[in-house]
Amino acid sequence: MPINAVGREVPSEINGQRFKPFAGDLKTPPEGRRAGSLIRMAPRSRSKVVNSLEEVIKKVGLEDGMTVSFHHHLRNGDFVVNMVMETIRKMGIKDIRVFPTALFPVHEPLVPMLTDGTIRRIEGSMNGPLGEATSYGVMRETAVLRSHSGRVRAVESEEVHIDVAFIAAPTADPYGNLNGVDGPSACGPLAYGMVDAYHADHTVAITDHLVPYPAHPISIFQHQIDYVVPVDRIGDPQGIMSGTLRITTSPSRLKIARYALEVIDRVALRDGFSFQAGAGGISLAVTKFLGDLMRKRGIKASFINGGVTKYVVDMLHEGLVDVVFDGQAFDLDAVKSLKEDKNHIETPLAMYGNPYSSGGIVNMLDVGVLGATEVDIDFNVNVNTHSDGLLLHGIGGHQEVAAGSALTIITVPLYRYRVPVIRERVTTVTTPGEVVDVVVTEHGIAINPKRDDIIEAMRGSKVPIWDIQDLQKKAYQICGKPQEPKTTDDIIAAILWRDGTIIDVVYKVKK
């Protein structure tokens, strides 16, 4: 097997499909043209409503071996994946490739379908039980994980051909205009579903809030939707929304946030700057502290790219930022703002960070603040597996935000539960060190040596600055040398870089 640019041995074929080894960001140029979607002619009818999933699955002609897709805006509150897959199972359709943007613990009912012949493989993020089951070798074929933008690229290039897209729609009208800002299962944007709506051979919206024509606002437009299926409930608001997100209260995590803030302040903070931070406790703290600092300094950001939370919305309302780009809403404040604020813009995922486009939002980011399960002394980052080898998380937008941001900061504790986070070698490479600039821990920061400008900017700071190898040694001192995960040689998942090259593989974990 070839060795790729981060030193990992990777196969050149996965599930019979050829993939190139990772060669570095923007080092593998695209080839050819995008896939063309199937041309349909809508019949003379003013309603696309079909009354059951079984009926619609018959109408679209779903067959053994086909690919069905889902978006994950309903997150851990989603009912749609389970109800569609259960219907498929009951109908006796086999060997389905499931192509979600992401799956969550709520989707555990799919685990038995991995062995009963319904599902041959899942290509998408698997947070929790499905990832764990996959790690133990339960899935017949090999899982393929892509970043948000990598998935868009894969659909556009027909690396993955979607036969039927099942699109959860918190609001839909009978002719297929959809949005996510209204209804009992409101989730905010429908950005993850857009590329599926455009490219799938058949498109089915599933809604629990059918409104008179025309639904508005419109996130996904009627001319891309073939059928609308009303159901009782598409989700559980408790699981869709994260509730009121809490800033971390841990003193060591707060220290990480403060260190990150100082790096941002010294390197990137200026009028018109831009940033992206997630919804984790440390990221929220960074966002909050950054807002405070901007207020104090009279600095205004040009845009924040989200994952949007209340903290971001507050900054928008306060005039601390011109524009919020929204691919995903984490709380009801974000949903409400998306609905009401003209400068809170839902962005098609194709605009996010697909390298095979005329340029994504991430290319304009000054600062990206990201997390990790592990970081190694080459600044490689793992967000997919835990140190025991289990595949428990998706890639999200990690790769493209890291690749695009002028300043990419990874905020991590030095160790978790006596297991070093800063290590000699990450269990899995999700994001290569070449696009990571600063690693921030509660013990201090490590700066990628190729970033002289950041090293220079941090001179005189009271933030402890470490060589990353020393940080790693410190972690090992405290925790002891970490154990290797107990894995076999069987590859259970491929991790693709956003350009479709293989950056790493995940091995089967011994029970």
Select from 281, 306, 348, 397 the one that contacts a second copy (CB under 8 A).
Answer: 348
Give whichever of 241 and 351 is closer to a second copy, judged by the CB atom.
351
356 touching a second copy, by CB under 8 A: yes
Give whichever of 136 and 221 is closer to a second copy, judged by the CB atom.
221
Question: Segment contacting a second copy (CB under 8 A): 40-48, 71-79, 379-387, 415-423?
Answer: 40-48
Question: Segment contacting a second copy (CB under 8 A): 14-22, 64-72, 209-217, 256-264?
Answer: 209-217
Phi, psi of 329 (to 5 degrees): -110, 135
175 touching a second copy, by CB under 8 A: yes
Q: How many residues sit in the footprint of a second copy (CB under 8 A)?
A: 61
Select from 340, 418, 459, 483 the one that contacts a second copy (CB under 8 A).
Answer: 340
Over the window 114 to 153, marking each residue x when it contacts a second copy by CB under 8 A and - when it does not, the resulting string is: ----------------------------------------
221 touching a second copy, by CB under 8 A: yes
214 prior amide bond cis, ω within 30: yes
Give whichever of 37 and 250 is closer to a second copy, judged by the CB atom.
37
Two tokens, residue 114? 């991995």
Which helix (H) or strand (E) is 498 found in, with range?
Answer: none
Which of 446, 447, 432 minimizes the C-alpha distance to 475? Answer: 446
Is beta strand 419-420 parallel, antiparallel or unpaired with respect to 415-416? antiparallel
DSSP 190: -
Asked if 308 contacts 329 with a C-beta cutoff of 8 angstroms, the reply is: yes
Give whichever of 218 and 247 is closer to a second copy, judged by the CB atom.
218
Two tokens, residue 273? 């700057």
Question: Segment contacting a second copy (CB under 8 A): 43-51, 112-120, 230-238, 502-510?
Answer: 43-51
Within 301-330, the residues that bind a second copy by CB under 8 A are 302-303, 322-323, 325
299 touching a second copy, by CB under 8 A: no
Which CA distances in Å does 121 have to 86, 124, 254, 369?
16, 10, 40, 32
Which of 281, 262, 492 minimizes the C-alpha distance to 509? Answer: 492
In angstroms, give the least distance from the CB of 319 to a second copy.
14
Q: Positive or negative CA dihedral for 153, 159, 165, 167?
A: negative
Packing angle, helices 310-317 and 332-340, rounded to 10: 40
Asked if 380 contacts 428 with a C-beta cutoff of 8 angstroms, the reply is: no
In angstroms, give the least distance from the CB of 184 to a second copy.
21
31 touching a second copy, by CB under 8 A: yes
Asked if 409 contacts 438 with a C-beta cutoff of 8 angstroms, the reply is: yes
Two tokens, residue 422? 């800063």
Binding site for a second copy (CB under 8 A): 26, 29-42, 44-46, 48, 156-157, 175-176, 203, 212-214, 216-218, 221-226, 272, 302-303, 322-323, 325, 339-340, 342-343, 345, 347-348, 350-351, 354-361, 363-364
